[in-house]
Amino acid sequence: MPDTSGFIPVNEPLLDGNEHRYLAQCIKTGWISSEGPFVERFEQAMAARVGKRFGIAVTNGTAALEAAVAALNLAPGDEVILPAFTIISCAAAVVRCGATPVLVDCDPLTWNMDVAQVAARITPRTRALMPVHLYGLPVDMAPLMELAQQHGLAVIEDAAEAIGQTCAGKPCGGIGHLGVFSFYPNKHVTTGEGGMIITDDPDLAERCRSLRNLCFQPGRRFVHEELGWNLRMTNLQAALGVAQLERLDEFLARKRAIGARYQRLLADVPGLQLPQAATPWADNVYWVFGVVLDETLGLTVPEAMQRLHREGIGTRPFFWPMHEQPVFMRMGLFREERHPHAERLARRGFYLPSGLALRDEHIERAAAALRSVLA
Ligand SMILES: *Cc1c(COP(=O)(O)O)cnc(C)c1O
C-alpha cells in the first residue's frame, strides 16, 4: 500500500499474491499450529529451490542458526570461523553452544567475509566455517568449500539475505553442509517471523528436527536425553511462505531493478561508495542498497541518516562488528583484535529504502534526497 504520509520506510513487504487465500484456508480448516500441511509444503518447496533434500522450518533465522550450530555437537573450546561484519545471531549461536567464534575481516568492496583470511585462522580446534552472504552479494564459496574439505570442517551457510541468489551458478544456502534462511519481512521471502535449515544430510536433518521439537523421543515421548527448544513454525507462517515463494523470481528481478536504478541515479555522487554490481561468481541481488560515505564528506552516518529522515527517507545503519560488541567484550572475547574494514563499514555505511513494495518514484526521491544531503 502506498504510504500517504509521504514517508518512505526502509522496508515494506509485498503480500498481494496468494497469501490471503492460503491464510484463509488455514483458518477455515482449523490448521493453525505447526502440524498443518503448509509447513511440510513450505519445507519441500524451499529445499527444492535450493536443490537439497531436507528443509526444517523454524521460528526465525536466529533460531535456525542456533539449531544448525547445535546440530554439530561442538565441545567447549571448539572454534567456528565467521565474519566480524555480520548480524549478532551468527556469533551468538556459536557462543550459546559453548564454542568459540573466530573472526575474519571483510572485503572492502563486496563487504563479505574475506575468504583469503580464513586459512590463517584455522587451528586444530576449528570445527566449522560460517560464511554469511551479506547485502546481496554471496561469499566466494568455491575456495571456502575447498578449505573446509581439506581440513574436514563443517560449513554452515547463512543465506538469510540471499534467498534465490546463486554463487557460481549454485543456489546460496545449498552449498554448505547446512544452509540457514530467515523469513523476516525484509528478506526476499517473508513469513512475518520465520526461518529454515536446509541440508542433504539425513542425520543433521533429523538432529535439527529433534532440537526444534524439544528433543521429544519417538518411543518415550516425555523422556529426554537432551535439551532442545520449541522452534516450531506455525501453519499460518508457512502458508505465507508458500505464497511468497511462488513469486521469488519476480521478487529477485524487482530487487535487481531497484538496485540498478539506484546505481544509475547515484553513480556520479562524489565520495559515495555504492554496492559492487557483480563479482566473477554472482550478480548483486541488492537485498538492501547500501552506501558508504567517504571520510572526506565531513558528514557522519548518524547525521546523514537524521537529515534523510527529515526528508522523509527511512534508512538503517550497517552492522556493528562482532569484536566491538560490548556483550562479547565483557565475555573476554576478541581481545585486542582489529578488523579495519569491518570497523570502517560499521562507521561509514548505511542503507536506503529497498523493500519490495518500493516504487520507482520512491527510489528517485530517496536518491535525490541523498544527493542533496551530501551536497
Ligand atoms: C536476518 C538475518 C538473520 C536473522 O534472522 P531473524 O529471522 O531476524 O532471526 C541471520 N543472519 C543474517 C545474515 C540476517 O540478515
Residue type, 188: H
In 3D space, the residue among 229, 240, 144 whose CA is nearest the CA of residue 185 turns out to be 240
Q: What residues are paired with 134 via a beta bridge?
A: 137
Which ranges in the chain are annotated with CATH 3.90.1150.10? 248-374
Top mutation candidate among 89, 158, 233, 354 for ligand 1, by most atoms within 8 Å of CB: 89
The rounded Å distance from CA 161 to ligand 1 centre is 7
Give 24-77 pLDDT, tens digit per residue.
999 999 999 999 999 999 999 999 999 999 999 999 999 999 999 999 999 999
CATH of 19-245, one of 3.40.640.10, 3.50.50.60, 3.30.70.1290, 3.40.50.2030: 3.40.640.10
Is residue 140 in contact with ligand 1, taking CB distance under 6 Å?
no
Q: Where are the alpha helices (DSSP H) in the chain?
A: 19-29, 37-50, 61-71, 88-96, 118-121, 141-151, 202-212, 235-245, 248-266, 301-310, 326-330, 340-348, 360-374
Calpha distance 320→362 (Å, rounded): 27
Residue type, 197: I
Which ranges in the chain are annotated with CATH 3.40.640.10? 19-245
Arithmetic mean of pLDDT, 236-261: 98
Is residue 161 in contact with ligand 1, taking CB distance under 6 Å?
yes
User: 282 φ, ψ to 5°?
Assistant: -170, 155
220 grid coordinates: 518415550
Is residue 59 in contact with ligand 1, taking CB distance under 6 Å?
no
Is residue 237 in contact with ligand 1, taking CB distance under 6 Å?
no
Q: Whose CA is nearest to atom 12 of ligand 1?
A: 160
The rounded Å distance from CA 227 to ligand 1 centre is 23
Give 174-198 pLDDT, tens digit per residue.
999 999 999 999 999 999 999 999 9
Residue 48, Ramachandran bin (φ over 0: left; ψ between -120 and 50: alpha; else beta): alpha
Distance of CA 260 to the CA centre of its chain: 21
Give 123-175 pLDDT, tens digit per residue.
999 999 999 999 999 999 999 999 999 999 999 999 999 999 999 999 999 99
Mean residue pLDDT across the chain:
97
Calpha distance 190→19 (Å, rounded): 10
Q: 335: part of which helix (H) or strand (E)?
A: none
Q: Which residues are within 8 A (CB) of 259 and not within 5 positions of it... i.e. 6 or more apart?
A: 136, 275, 277, 284, 285, 286, 289, 354
Angle at 318 between CA 164 and CA 372, to 5 degrees: 105
Q: Whose CA is nearest to atom 2 of ligand 1?
A: 160
The rounded Å distance from CA 349 to ligand 1 centre is 19
The rounded Å distance from CA 223 to ligand 1 centre is 32
Question: Would you call 206 exposed, middle or buried from its count of C-beta atoms within 10 A (0-12, 13-18, 19+)?
Answer: middle
Contact call for residues 236 and 32 (beta carbons, < 8 A): yes
Calpha distance 241→190 (Å, rounded): 6
Calpha distance 49→345 (Å, rounded): 32
pLDDT value, residue 4: 53
pTM, 2 dp: 0.97
Calpha distance 20→37 (Å, rounded): 16
pLDDT value, residue 371: 97
Calpha distance 176→332 (Å, rounded): 30
The rounded Å distance from CA 184 to ligand 1 centre is 7
Give 321-335 pLDDT, tens digit per residue.
999 999 999 999 999
Return the percent helix, strand and coil in the chain, to nearest 5: 40, 15, 45
Calpha distance 200→353 (Å, rounded): 36
For a pLDDT cut of 90, what percent of the chain falls above it?
A: 98
Calpha distance 285→221 (Å, rounded): 44
Is residue 89 in contact with ligand 1, taking CB distance under 6 Å?
yes
Residue 1 confidence class, pLDDT cut points 50, 70, 90:
very low
CATH 3.90.1150.10 for domain 248-374, yes or no, is yes
